[in-house]
Amino acid sequence: MTDSLPRHSLLRPHIPMLAGILRGIEKEGLRVDASGALALTPHPPDLGSALTNPHITTDYSEALLELITGTHGTVPGLLAELEDIHKFVAARIGGELIWNQSMPGRLPAEADIPIAWYGTSNTGMLKHVYRRGLAERYGKAMQCIAGVHYNFSLPDAIWDILDTEGASLAERRSKGYLALIRNFTRYSWLLMYLFGASPAVSRGFLGDAPHGLHILDGDTLYLPHATSLRMSDLGYNNKDKAQSELQLCYNDIETFLRRIYDAVTTPWPAYQAIGTHRDGQWIQLNTNVLQIENEFYSSIRPKRSVERCERPSTALAARGVQYIEVRCLDIDPYQPLGISAETSRFMDTFLLFCAVEDSPFFPQNGFCPDSHDNFAVVSTEGRKPGLMLARRDGPVSLRDWGDELLGRMLDYADLLDAGVSGDAHRQAVLAQQKKIDDPKATPSATLLRQMRQEGVSLHELTLRQSRAHRDALLASPLNHDAEKELRQAAAESLRVQAQLEQSDTESFDDYVARYHAGLLRPAAAA
């Protein structure tokens, strides 16, 4: 192997292996009433248990649905299951709708936003108390933002093909996924530009907080060149000082785990002032920088399936990285499922590109401020004419860098297409070129233009689109086998939750103590 060969050429003799790529989706969406206001009703029992149904759960709020597919070897199979779950839910939430926009519509007073409830088992109470802690730390409104999470894994054979170092498969796999994450961090600004679809917010979302946004109409605030306010300082990145000082490192798994460990074991004065109990009730799991690992709001995560009462970082330390979860995709308001097949194929191409291309370690103790700044500026100013980004070789325009990245990705799209009939991956990449050439073609610009042309607010437009998507889903019935499977899963989940509640014998206090005790101090980096 010579350094002069392009990295993608390493995969050309192994195209059949790429059929082992797996992808899955977790799609969030608020339940709202017929007027678009947040639903205050409990999680519908026909959807099963939010704790134990593998297909339908909730995130922060009782009204924030999360629809979960299994892993799939093809994009059509992935979206077919996601559509089935959407149809199943749409038919079982009465007159309510799934809000098909990342930024929420009309929210009630903070005190009235219902926190998700998972029953009285220790597992369910842990999830509920963690969410109480989020409310105490960040407020409830921010937790009602929704997105599409894209899970992605590569076949194990690829790490040998790429000559990834490591004494064991688990070590090679972890190093390979961390290299992917480093490149994702370098290039994820491109996803914000191409797929960001939240350039505006309803006025009520911000309340009386200072914001610096422009006024579109009486109910809508926006930034003229924004792509994703959801991923800006107004959304998920609106961290307090505790999280803002947490800089994870993706150079090696040991340093990554050590920094997470420090965050979940280091007390934070403001959270100590809140305490863990109020009026005899748990209100947060601890007073540390992070209650648990998942509290860190990152745009991508290394992931590993966990057992009951097992800490995510402990599972990663024991068994290594299993897949990655991309968390920065906005809901596509023009798609009934919140994501299109074209976007999914682009994501597969982009993530394969990130995994295979050279991925140097980050300097500065594993932190890359240029990548962080690029992501932030594209979220709020991505369509600004002549926007310049920071790159290792000096400033570069978004347009020039975008052209270059899409051109390099075409080789990876061709590899994916070579394993199937057609050129769908190449076309998915080429379709993004028009957005680079003309910012007016981006979804964020399209959304703002439509609101202006039709004289409607973000709330009015999203409500209309959500109704249309619901009607489109219900227009074609769910096939018998899929409905039977989802109905059985819902019923079984209720049975499993009841069994958990009946079998728990230890107190919740003891369970929390055991959960915290399961956190292992990571090994030092080599």
**Cβ neighbours of residue 260 closer than 8 Å, sequence gap 6 or more:** 248, 290, 293, 296, 313
Average pLDDT, the chain: 94
- Is beta strand 22-32 parallel, antiparallel or unpaired with respect to 148-153? antiparallel
The 10s digit of each residue's pLDDT in 330-379 is 999 999 999 999 999 999 999 999 999 999 999 876 667 788 899 999 99
Architecture of the domain made up of 7-517: 2-Layer Sandwich (3.30)
In 3D space, the residue among 403, 434, 406, 432 whose CA is nearest the CA of residue 343 turns out to be 432
Determine phi and psi for 76, rounding to 5 degrees.
Answer: -60, -40
- Angle in degrees, CA 430, 432, 434, rounded to 5: 90
Tokens for 217, please give them. Answer: 């109409």
**Integer Cα distance of 127 and 64 in angstroms:** 14
Residue type, 98: I
**Integer Cα distance of 25 and 79 in angstroms:** 9
3-state secondary structure of 10: helix
Q: How many residues does the structure list for the chain?
A: 526
* Mean pLDDT in residue range 457-469: 98
The 10s digit of each residue's pLDDT in 412-452 is 999 999 988 899 999 999 999 999 999 999 999 999 999 99
The 10s digit of each residue's pLDDT in 236-271 is 654 566 777 777 889 999 999 999 999 999 999 999
How deeply is 211 buried, as exposed, middle or buried, from its count of CB atoms within 10 A (0-12, 13-18, 19+)?
A: middle
**Integer Cα distance of 37 and 15 in angstroms:** 49
**Cβ neighbours of residue 30 closer than 8 Å, sequence gap 6 or more:** 38, 39, 61, 63, 64, 65, 98, 99, 104, 105, 144, 146
* Mean pLDDT in residue range 94-102: 97
Tokens for 393, please give them. Answer: 């070789």
Least confident of 103-112, 236-245, 388-397, 403-412: 236-245
